[in-house]
Structure 1
């Protein structure tokens, strides 16, 4: 059992969703974010830390004494190249370097389907798009996630840190926030927690990339790699099909991200 887990970007959408679902007896969640966070409840074992993933000193302090890092922090939408480079790419390097110096043996990196957004949906095949498909980013944001994956690979190969990359589809409370595309990309909150637990499990995963999606009937992503890690999805976006199936289709995995101007605000 992992005793202390640092979660960066803990006050963001994904961090907020996962926080209550990652509670375990004997586990302390060290929650880092740049802004205000929800104070701990009476039954929560959490440590609230204010800091940025771009600050080496803050990250060094945050990584001290932790068993694993779940790196969610960063800009979660398309933005300028300068901001994306500083926060998502340099910030990931700062997190990994702080983890290395602190002797952290497990790092989980929240990547995205947008690292391969310009791969064609038709290329998925009957078994889905492999989790380790080479990058075809659709935005600066997608480029930053591809760089995150490469940094994770480097830190595993150079320093022996176990690194699990989660190529998340779309983690929201329901796929209703996502439109028809959510029937393929949704990762339910409960399945999201199950996937993180699999990535935290005691075995030594080395470096691996897995898709972060639920067991969606219309899924286009391979779940074989995540299943090998120990992930057992239980939810399916098809439950919401009656409200989402508008007959629309996407040519590329990245959906609307493939159509927006680089550096601009983007759709879900």
Structure 2
């Protein structure tokens, strides 16, 4: 697929969106920004709620592709998750279908498979021990459930309408890892931009689910699908390992927050009430 010229970036004022709106233009993209909040320095950004169908339809007009990062990025009430992550994502897909946008790159999450047991063994793990992208949905929260919905919605729109999607199960994208668990799921901002660029430009993706992490020594999941898109990660969390291990110690199955991919999300039933 030729590199898209204009890309709609939803959730552009969020943590990940802020990082990507700084890094993606170097790949030649002209970004149209959308968020609930105004974006400093960009008076042309679309300020809208994903629940506003009319605003979403307007935002997608004339774009070559969409990077969908908008929504609630942690656990919340089901009502809030439903509006922002489930209904909002459906509005985006309908708008993209109507406008003839050929591809969406959507931020899924490790929490879509959060109750998957974490792999065990010395690092680096052999390929046979890594979690594949075919691992079944095992959401750990309403938030994780919304990412399962988004992946299935993407599959439906590919099968029914021919709208392509790359669903990226992002681990943790921060400037540096902040926990021992994150050493296995860390995605550096620079690698995230590389991954998004690969997902935007790969040929014939249909609906592809790919894991989003850097080339971490302590990696838990299989990156072969992401690499097949053209992703070549350059970073590794291992330089941060000694300090984090000194602070927290190794992961232990005696700690319920360490036994599954989703970490503490798997140990804390929703603290929110509608």
The corresponding residue for 1:226 is 226
Within the candidate set 242, 249, 266, 1:258 is matched to: 266
Task: Please list the CA deviations of residues 50-73 of structure 1 after superposition, one character each: whole Å capped at 9, or x if unmatched.
Answer: 111111100000000000010000
Stretches of structure 1 lacking an aligned partner (at least 5 in a row): 41-45
Contact 1:140 1:263 in 2 (8 A): no
Taking structure 1 as the reference length, the TM-score comes to 0.92
Residue 244 (str. 1) matches residue 247 (str. 2): no
Within a 5 Å distance, the mapping from 1:95-174 to structure 2 comes to 95-122=92-119, 126-127=126-127, 128-174=130-176
Residue 87 (str. 1) matches residue 84 (str. 2): yes
Contact 1:108 1:164 in 2 (8 A): yes
Within a 5 Å distance, the mapping from 1:36-47 to structure 2 comes to 36-40=38-42, 47=44
Within the candidate set 32, 37, 57, 1:60 is matched to: 57
Q: What is the DSSP-based 3-state SS (H/G/I as helix, E as strand, rest coil) of the residue aligned with 2:32?
A: strand
Contact 2:27 2:197 in 1 (8 A): no
TM-aligned CA deviation for residue 122 of structure 1: 3.0
TM-aligned CA deviation for residue 264 of structure 1: 3.8
Task: Please list the CA deviations of residues 167-210 of structure 1 after superposition, one character each: whole Å capped at 9, or x if unmatched.
Answer: 0000111102xx11111010000000000000011522111100
TM-aligned CA deviation for residue 133 of structure 1: 1.4
Q: What is the DSSP-based 3-state SS (H/G/I as helix, E as strand, rest coil) of the residue aligned with 2:50?
A: coil
Residues 69 and 123 of structure 1: is their aligned pair in 2 closer, same or farther, counting only changes over 3 Å? farther
Contact 1:84 1:140 in 2 (8 A): yes
Q: Distance in 1 between matches of 2:19 and 2:28?
A: 20
Contact 2:112 2:147 in 1 (8 A): yes
TM-aligned CA deviation for residue 79 of structure 1: 0.2
Q: Distance in 2 between matches of 1:174 and 1:152?
A: 30
Residues 186 and 95 of structure 1: is their aligned pair in 2 closer, same or farther, counting only changes over 3 Å? same
Kindly report structure 1 stretches of 4+ aligned residues shifted beyond 6 Å.
Answer: none
Stretches of structure 2 lacking an aligned partner (at least 5 in a row): 253-257
Residue 73 (str. 1) matches residue 70 (str. 2): yes
TM-aligned CA deviation for residue 32 of structure 1: 0.1
The corresponding residue for 1:43 is none
TM-aligned CA deviation for residue 164 of structure 1: 0.3
The corresponding residue for 1:27 is 29
Taking structure 2 as the reference length, the TM-score comes to 0.90
